[in-house]
Structures are given as C-alpha cells and as structure tokens.
Amino acid sequence: MERNISGVIRFVGNKINISVIEKLSTSIVGIFDASTNISESHTFIERSLQLIERKIGARLKVFTIIIEDNESIESRIEIAKKGIQLADYKVTRRDIDNVIELTKQEFLSEKRRVTLIQPVKFTVVGEVLKNYSVAPIDRIGNELEITFAVTTISSDVYKFIKTITEVHGISIKCILLSSQSITQNNLSEGINEKGAALVSVTTNNVSLSINKNKATVSTCSIYNLGYKQLVNGVAKVFNCDYESALNLINVYGNLTTNTNRIIQNNFTGQENQTYTEQDLNNIIKVFLNRITLVLKKFLEERNVAYIPVVLSEKLENIIGAQDYIRDKLKTEVSLYTPLTLIENTLNYKYAIGAQKLHKHMEDQKVIKENSIINTNPNDIKVIHSRKKKTLFQRMITKIGGEYDRN
C-alpha cells in the first residue's frame, strides 16, 4: 500500500525548518522535525534528507515550501477577474484550468512571481447569471468568469527558494505564505462551519487569523509578542541567561500547580535569591494575558463572536495554557499541529470566499480589476481602515507590541 507522506520546508525569520508527517487513516504521525539557522541551510537540508530517507526507506523529493509573510518577501494578494467563452456551452474541468492558466499569464513579471491562485467566486453567464461557491462543473452557459485571489512574492525571494532547493534535487509542490498553510482538518465539521480563530505563537511574533470553511478571512501579526518575549521575561526576573530561562519554562511551566517549590537559587555574595514555581507561573500568566487581550480586541474589531480558538504548538510545553486561555475567553480552546493537510488550500473545487462576503466586497467597490489587497483578500475591515490607526492598533502599541496587518 502506498504511504501518504508529506514534507514541508519552512523559512521563518533567519531560521529554516524541515518537518515530515505520515497521514494514516485515523491519525497524523510526525516522522521528522528539525531547525537551524538559514546560514547553515545547505548542510542542514542534505543531512535532514539523509535522516528522513533512513526513517521512511526512500528519498523524499517533493516538499511544500512555507514562508513567513512579512515585509521582506513583499507578499501581496490581488483580486483579479478572468472569463472565457464556453465552447460546449457547459463548464468543464478544462475550462476552469484554462482560466487559471490565463490568470497566471497576466501576472507574469520580472519582479514578482505567482505562488498561489485561489478562486473566490465562480460565475456562469447564460440565459441568467448565476454565482457559485463551488466549481460549477456541467453547468450550462455561454461564459465562465472566475474571481481569483492571486498571491505573489518578490522574484528575488522566489529565486532564493528555488536555488536552495534545486541544489538538493528537491521539487517544490507549492509555495504558501504561513497564513495560507494552516487548515482546519483537525477540527470538527461543526467548528469549520462556524469558524475558528487560530493563534500561532512563533519566536518573534503572534499571528492571528479568523478561518471559516477552510478559508482565511482575516489575518494580522503582532511583533514583539512572540515566545522569545516570554523567555526574555523569565531570564530578566530569574537573573539567568536565555537558554536557562527556556529550560525553566519547558521543565517547570505548569499552570495547574501554583506551589512555592524552589526551582532556582542565585547566589550573590552572601545572599541567596530563590525563585519558585509560582514566580515562573506569574510571568507565564502575564504573557498569556497579553495574547488573550490581543485576541479579544482582534475579534471585537471584526464584530466576531467568541468562536473556538486553536493554539499553536509553541504553547504545548506549558501545561495548563490551554485551560487558562479557555477560562479567560469562555470558549472552546484546542491545540493544533502546523503541519496539517495543507493540500486542501490548493483545492480549486471550492472558492475561498462566501458569495455573501464577495457581494459585500463588490458593493463596497473593493473588487475591481487587479486591485491590490495587502495580504488577505477577504478582510473587508482591513481594506477600509488601512490609512487610519484603529483602536486595535493603538491598544497593541500601548501594551508594547508592534502591529503589522497583513
């Protein structure tokens, strides 16, 4: 039986990460996960490929590339409409593929490269005009028009990724922004329908997104609020180095206990300064409170009720973090593994935007030919408040974070 194995190479800041999973009938099993500095990428990739080969018994040659969507890669998503006449007066799979290819050709540029094209809406023109949120295969009409969200990045970034992978014989399945790589395959259908807020805590920032029916409808990143800030906070209070602080969190981070058990002693001359589990937990709670406050404001600004929240694996080492945030938000909270079934983000069968949302965009005159939307085409509120500093942005500045709305 053929094994279902997927590999991902992530570029986040100055780090490169390689991870591999195997999808079984009832679960997802991690096979490999390692990271290093980007400067060591050549030897790191080759060594990782060898280790993966030993584990799975074959050379893994196809990887999905995930890149952090920040200013340096000059990522953007543009809305484009493209239509064709239907030769057989009904929509076929080939017709949809032709429209996709024509759209790609329009975005060819020396300075930018297309990384992803996702349908937002399908329109079939016949005796009447009908809109569809799923591919209208076999629908009768004279013309097919598709509205797309087209993701592009800097050509220099694209060439760098191609160079660093091709030298190792790696083929690129697709290139995704980090906000596009997180799907909700580990969530129940009920949660998918009503949506979920994803909270991804990386080393340097916190990325927030609202997802519904596997579509990311709003995103933002809060810099200077990442896991590194928590570790630095512990290092400062406990008067120790970064690695010692990280180890303290990994070993003693436990919000289900709040004891005065001493976990570190610092000797200064004749004095002995002691630090307890409670001291550590208090610092962790301050960090989680900031994330919770940011998320609340993020949802409130978008008039979103308290939908289920899914946390990234960075908080997995802190026992009780999930329950603590659940109590603060009064909503369902769960953990996710970033390496999920990302193939669904490439499924052209389903449009990424709901018809109602798309109509809202048209009514507000947001959608027009090749209109640029910073990162996510579905975030109406972002589009209309780009020049104005919102209450959410002012709040982020006040608590010490830097706001980057993608």
pLDDT tens-digit map of 159-217: 999 999 999 999 998 888 776 665 444 444 445 455 677 787 877 778 787 765 555 55
Instruction: Flag whether 126 is in a domain.
Output: yes
Q: How far is CA 396 from the centre of its chain?
A: 20
Interatomic CA distance for residues 326 and 334, integer angstroms: 9
55 and 29 housed in the same domain: yes
Range of the domain at 197: 187-337+379-406
C-alpha distance from residue 217 to each of 180, 212, 406 (Å): 10, 7, 11
Residue with tokens 């050509």: 155
Interatomic CA distance for residues 66 and 12, integer angstroms: 8
Count of domains observed in the chain: 3
H helices of 253-375, in order, are 277-301, 321-329, 355-363
From the list 256, 231, 277, the residue with the least C-alpha distance to 323 is 256
Is pLDDT above 60 for 388? Answer: no
Cα dihedral across residues 51, 54, 59, 62: positive or negative: negative
pLDDT band at 242 (very low <50, low <70, confident <90, very high): very high
Which DSSP letter does residue 170 get? P
Work out the percent of the chain whose per-residue pLDDT is above 90.
28
Instruction: Flag whether 210 is in a domain.
Output: yes
User: Which residues sit opposite 113 in a β-bridge?
Assistant: 153
Instruction: Flag whether 87 is in a domain.
Output: yes
323 and 388 housed in the same domain: yes
Q: Which of 8-12, 38-42, 119-123, 389-393 has the lowest mean pLDDT?
A: 389-393
State residue 143's pLDDT score.
Answer: 94
From the list 196, 225, 177, 210, the residue with the least C-alpha distance to 310 is 196
Continuous segment of H or E residues that includes residue 208? strand 205-212
Which amino acid type is present at position 363?
D
Instruction: Flag whether 63 is in a domain.
Output: yes
173 and 194 housed in the same domain: no
51 and 131 housed in the same domain: no
41 and 21 housed in the same domain: yes
43 and 80 housed in the same domain: no
Supply the CATH number for residue 50's domain: 3.30.420.40
Helices (H) and strands (E) in the chain, counts: 11, 18
212 and 311 housed in the same domain: yes
CA angle 69, 309, 229 (to 5 degrees): 55
96 and 21 housed in the same domain: no
Interatomic CA distance for residues 136 and 96, integer angstroms: 9
Supply the CATH number for residue 133's domain: 3.30.1490
- Strands (E) located in 68-170: 76-85, 112-125, 129-132, 143-154
249 and 331 housed in the same domain: yes
pLDDT in tens, 53-80: 999 998 999 998 988 766 677 877 777 8
Instruction: Flag whether 266 is in a domain.
Output: yes
For range 125-138, the mean pLDDT = 85
Residue with tokens 């490269």: 113
373 and 383 housed in the same domain: no
Instruction: Flag whether 244 is in a domain.
Output: yes
Burial readout 309-322 (b: 16 or more C-beta within 10 A, e: otherwise)? bbbbebbeebebbb
276 and 326 housed in the same domain: yes
Q: Is the pTM for the entire model greater than 0.85?
A: no
C-alpha distance from residue 140 to each of 88, 123, 126, 307, 349 (Å): 9, 11, 7, 39, 17
Q: What is the mean pLDDT of the chain?
A: 76
Instruction: Flag whether 19 is in a domain.
Output: yes
Instruction: Flag whether 342 is in a domain.
Output: no
Work out the percent of the chain whose per-residue pLDDT is above 70.
72
Interatomic CA distance for residues 271 and 340, integer angstroms: 51
169 and 34 housed in the same domain: yes
